[in-house]
Amino acid sequence: MRRVAIYLLLVCVAAMAVLPILWALSTALKTKGEVVTYPPRWIPQPPTLRSFAVVLRETSMPRYFANSLLVGLCTVIVAVAIAAHAGYAFARFGFPGREVLAFGILATA
């Protein structure tokens, strides 16, 4: 009985994580009129990709995406460079407070 309760809880948590993503996907495939209809429908009739075309053509979203990609890549490059040097220092050299510092890095990573 306890195992069933645990699995039921896990299914509920998984549903809470997945359902908003599915709803966003469903809404993205709806027409403008279908988005505001009541009661809402999970499966749009007919599904359309027009909203994506509008976002790509009539907004600055591609530019925003490129900016985010550039910032993310630069951040990753700097983080890997720093982590590689720090990892080498931790592996190669002994210094006072090494264990405490290593634990702090691992605990917050």
Give the side-chain half-sphere CA count within 13 A for 35: 10
Contact (Cβ atoms closer than 8 angstroms) between residue 50 and residue 31: yes
pLDDT of residue 81: 95
Structure tokens at 27: 């809404």
Quick one: average pLDDT of 70-90? Answer: 94
Whole-structure pTM value = 0.61
- Confidence check: pLDDT of 37 > 90: no
Q: What is the Cα gyration radius of the chain?
A: 24
- Confidence check: pLDDT of 109 > 80: no
- pLDDT tens digit sequence for 40-51: 888 888 888 888
Question: What is the distance between the alpha carbons of residues 51 and 78, in angstroms, rounded to a whole number?
Answer: 36
Percentage helix, strand, coil, to 5, in the chain? 75, 0, 25
Quick one: average pLDDT of 26-43? Answer: 87
